[in-house]
A and B are shown apart, each in its own frame.
Chain A
Amino acid sequence: MAISYSRLTHLRLAEKFRRSCTSISSQRPVPVSSQISKIDHKKMMKPEKKEDRVIYELPKVYVEENTTGLALFSSNTNYGIKVIEVMNAIKFTPYGLRQTWDLFQEDKLLRSQIYIKERAEFLGPELATAHFLCFRGGKVRFHGQEDWITQDPDSDMLTSLPKFYVESYKVEAADCSKMTLIYEGLENMKNMENLKWLSLEGCPHIDDWCLDRISGEYGNTLEYLDIRNCHRVTDKGIASLSKMKKLKTLILGGHPEAKNLELVCLMLEDILPEITIRGIVYCDESLLKPSEAKE
């Protein structure tokens, strides 16, 4: 029975194989004859030139490779610090166990969202983003089309997205609400020149640094941004949205750590020409009603 892998799994397997090949070849043993030879003084006193960098080497008298025969068994990679890390015992306190578990979960999340260069090179940035988002529960809409593309719940394969580079597919809108997107995951969404609509509603890991990345990436094109219920966002992150000159709609709400939110939004309305900010109440309407004066 023929097993059909998706293109992405092909790429992953190819990369794994390539990596395993290079690691074997780098561990070549050092020949014995080179150790007994005399110290090369010319090499020691001359500065090594790496590209344009000159490294000043004052002559080293005691050089390990020339004096120990055990260098034959050493590998190029150094394990000194790794040995110390492994020796760090797992703390069997409730805090220690929880910390180990949290680190494990974070590492898992990071590895699931790390930027894969081959995917972007093969599919082009727009389709790579679409594949990345749809596979993790997001929705994407292309320029010129009206339907949102999501993962088909019945099958693992995304039948509606092309698996090769097609130039006419430009991502215009991305709906990432309630996805577990992290800062490193946003790197998969770079080089998109046509993104106009972005929703990050309810994403728990979005904070000021992610907003900095978003305003740096889509500063010229984004027109609609929704960051409701992103609990880690503060007013500094929202102030950094002043870099997006074409922003027309900004939807806020549910930011417990944003202290001067109303002031920042007023200042944003001064700077950005076409902005409308929804979800912000500038003053309490009930205070404007005339109070019943009792004399």
Chain B
Amino acid sequence: MFNRAVTAAQLKPWLKFNYILKNVTFTVRSFCNSCPRYSNKDDEPVKPSILVPEDFQAELDGETYCPPLAQPIKPHVHPIKKSFDLLGITGRNDPKTHNNLYFPRHCDILIIGGGIMGCSIAYWLKQRGHDNGLRVIVVEQDPSYTRASTVLSVGGLRQQFSLPENIEMSLYGAEFLRKSKKLLSGEGLEGPDVQFHPFGYLFLATEKGADQLIANHKLQTSLGAKIQLLSANKLKQKFPWINTDGVELASLGLENEGWFDPWSLLNGFRNKALEMGVEFVKAETVGFETQETIVPEQPGIGDSGCYHKLKRVHVRLVDGDIRTIDFSKCVMAAGAQSGKVSKLAGIGLGTGLLRNALPVEPRKRYVYCFHAPEGPGLDCPLTVDTTGSYFRREGLGGHYVAGKSPTANEEPGVANLDVDYTFFDQQVWPDVALRVPGFENIKLKSAWSGYYDYNTFDQNGVIGIHPYHTNFLFATGFSGHGLQQAPAVGRAIMELVLEGKFLTIDLSRFAFDRVIANQPVFEQNIV
């Protein structure tokens, strides 16, 4: 009966502007990225030095275009049934949703991904959120974690990085693990036993890499990590089972380094978050919705503009039902699938600040477990060879775990988690057997594979707020060293959300801005 557009315009007067001026084209200055213009030409400042390539600078000066996001078709529900749904009567004891009575329709902070990052962020936010102050929802596709990177990881903890932020995050990770039993315990809830094996990491370097190792060591010790440099002779004295051919220098972690059980930490975070009131929803993210908000003109700063704010997420439940959740802020912690899910929010599909997609994609890595009766024995740190292969002891029965990151042209496909045993025979075993003569006689027992949330840009985490979608935060792309940094990243995201800036560790260098400015921050010690 009534024209829908007219009704909408009458109900939301700030959108009337759109309908009236639809046919008139004018350049709209987008919020957040424009250089302010002054009415008086003499007051205009000198053009600043260029951070980004020239053609891209022109695009940044112009409008950031947020494309209309693909909305999945909502199934038709009878209007009477729909009104009962809205009242909340039929939502009670819904077996489709995971661990919830009513399906949540809105929240303060939505976390996409329930792995170690998502659970850590949920714990930190809820811990400071004052009982029922913050409503936090975690959307996790697979609560049994069959393909999650967290539970398939080797579980290493090390401070031997080359970037100060990485070192500080790992130091805090060690401190948190030490206190995790107390912090993650609650009434009737026992804290996790992370089973930390304090055996250290051993990095071996040839003549070419020795300078880098010495520089790294200086930085690490200045920040409080306890690392010792060993020459080839001292290395042979300390570990008689090692073959020091080609090794010029080695660095051994003395304290707070080793490996632990990722399952216990994940369960610890998750159970504590559940106890504090975080809601876990078993669903898959399929789309986002934006709302156009008119930004009023501010004299001296800029003209009025139209800003597409992310408002709502569409999730698909197990049986195909699509539901929506309104949020105020959204945190992307989806691990290997982050790039794909960010595209649903328009990141990478627009122009200007939305031109660059999140450069995170899944990469498959293999881990092999074998039995070696003549192996190193008890005193075996997680040794990283000059070739990139690594191995560590597993248990007390003479079992060892080994792996290697393949080169760029040998990357395996990511469609499934099948293991390629020829990679072990051709790449991993020769390196490892050369380094440890006791590994010549082994028996391969089992193997598994998992995904790295690999940051193709510079292999370091992306932590921060997106410059256009200011209510969209990233905590992903750690490329294999995310597990040990999870407590620190959770705390950093909590500070960003509640305070607006970093308070403890300054992670501004890891923001998404570096992808737009095309200035990578490389980590030299990638395993």
Contact = CB atoms under 8 A, between A and B. Distances in A.
A260 B35 contact: no
A245 B45 CA distance: 68
Interface of A: 38-39, 41-42, 44-47, 53-59, 61-62, 78, 80-81, 84-85, 87-89, 93, 95, 183, 208-209, 211-213, 215-217, 219, 236-237, 239-240, 242-243, 245, 260, 263-264, 267-268, 270-271
Given A39-B36, A44-B48, 8 more contacts: A42-B48, A46-B49, A53-B509, A58-B467, A58-B513, A239-B378, A242-B378, A267-B396
Which 3 A-B residue pairs are closest in the complex by CB-CB distance? A45-B48, A212-B198, A216-B254
Given A45-B49, A271-B379, A59 B35 contact: yes
B33 A240 contact: no
B48 A270 contact: no
16 contacts: A41-B48, A47-B51, A55-B509, A56-B511, A56-B513, A58-B353, A61-B31, A84-B133, A88-B131, A212-B255, A236-B196, A240-B198, A242-B379, A243-B200, A267-B378, A271-B379
Contacts of A217: 255
A84 B404 CA distance: 46
B197 interface: yes
B178 interface: yes
A88 B130 CA distance: 5
A61 B301 contact: yes
Contacts of B31: 61
A41 B256 contact: no
At the interface, is chain A mostly helix, strand, loop or mixed? helix
Contacts of A58: 32-33, 353, 467, 513, 516-517
Given A54-B519, A56-B51, A42 B45 contact: yes
A281 B288 CA distance: 64
Contacts of B129: 84
Interface string B283-327: 000000000000000101110000000000000000000000000
A209 B178 contact: yes
B226 interface: yes
B178 A183 contact: yes
Interface of B: 31-36, 43, 45-46, 48-49, 51, 128-131, 133, 164, 178, 187, 195-200, 226, 238, 254-256, 258, 298, 300-302, 353, 377-379, 396, 467, 495, 498-499, 503, 508-509, 511, 513-514, 516-517, 519
A213 B379 CA distance: 16
Contact of A81 (B49, B128, B353, B509): B128
A212 B177 CA distance: 14
- Which of A55, A212, A264: most chain B Cβ within 10 A? A212
A237 B198 contact: yes
Contacts of B516: 58
A54 B258 CA distance: 32
Contacts of B43: 38
- Which of B31, B49, B256, B396: most chain A Cβ within 10 A? B396
B234 to A, nearest CB: 11
Contacts of A260: 396
A186 B129 CA distance: 34
A56 B517 contact: yes
- Which of B31, B51, B195: most chain A Cβ within 10 A? B51
Contacts of A183: 178
Contacts of A240: 197-199
Contact of A264 (B396, B511, B514): B396
A55 B508 contact: yes
Contacts of B36: 39, 41, 61
Given A95-B187, A242-B378, A78 B513 contact: no
Given A46-B49, A242-B378, A271-B377, A213 B513 contact: no
Contacts of B258: 212
B48 A211 contact: no
Contacts of B200: 243
B219 to A, nearest CB: 10
Contacts of A215: 198
Given A42-B45, A236-B198, A213 B130 contact: no
Contacts of A263: 396
Contact of B300 (A38, A53, A80): A38
Given A61-B36, A236-B198, A81 B495 contact: yes
Given A212-B255, A270-B377, A271-B379, A81 B498 contact: yes
Nearest to A267: B378
A270 to B, nearest CB: 6
- Which of A57, A209, A211, A217: most chain B Cβ within 10 A? A209
A215 B516 CA distance: 46
A82 B43 CA distance: 42
Contacts of A41: 35-36, 45, 48
Contacts of A219: 254
B503 A81 contact: yes
A276 to B, nearest CB: 17
Nearest to A78: B499
Contact of B514 (A56, A62, A88): A56
Nearest to A213: B255
Nearest to A57: B513
B32 A61 contact: yes
Contacts of A236: 195-198
Contacts of A57: 513
